[in-house]
Amino acid sequence: MMPLISNVFNVDKNQINKQHYSNVNYDKNDSTSSTSASSLLSEINKHTMNITDSIFIHYNKTLETTIECVGSPYNQSCLYHNLYYVDSWYMILTVKGKQLPSYSIRTGAFTMVHTTPSKRVFDSYSHLERFIRTVIDPKIIPSVTLHFSQPWHDNIGHALFDGLYPAYVALIRFPPRHLHPFRILAGIDNCNTCWSEDIYSRFGGLGILKQSVLNKMSKGHWFMFEE
pLDDT band at 111; cut points 50, 70, 90: low
Query: Helix-strand-coil percent breakdown of the chain, rounded to 5?
Result: 25, 25, 50
Q: What is the pLDDT averaged over residues 199-216?
A: 94
pLDDT surpassing 90 at residue 204: yes
pLDDT value, residue 152: 83
Q: What percent of the chain has pLDDT over 70?
A: 71
pLDDT value, residue 189: 85
Alpha-carbon span 172 to 98, nearest angstrom: 27
Q: Which residue has the higher pLDDT, 104 or 50?
A: 104
Domain limits, the chain = 9-225
pLDDT value, residue 73: 76
pLDDT value, residue 194: 84
What is the tally of helices (H) and strands (E) in the chain? 6, 12
Coil/strand/helix, residue 214 = helix
Q: Per DSSP, what are the bridge partners of residue 140?
A: 224
Q: What is the pLDDT averaged over residues 81-92?
A: 96
Q: Which residue has the higher pLDDT, 17 or 156?
A: 156
pLDDT value, residue 106: 73
Residues 4-44: tens digit of each pLDDT: 344 444 444 333 333 333 334 444 433 333 344 454 444 44
Please state the pTM of the whole predicted model: 0.74
Q: What is the pLDDT averaged over residues 133-161?
A: 90
Q: What is the mean pLDDT of the chain?
A: 78
- For residue 169, count other CB atoms closer than 10 A to its CB: 17
pLDDT surpassing 90 at residue 168: yes
pLDDT band at 165; cut points 50, 70, 90: very high
204: left (phi over 0), alpha (psi -120 to 50) or beta: alpha
Burial class (CB in 10 A: 0-12, 13-18, 19+), 104: middle
pLDDT value, residue 60: 64
pLDDT band at 87; cut points 50, 70, 90: very high
Residues 61-79: tens digit of each pLDDT: 789 999 999 988 778 899 9
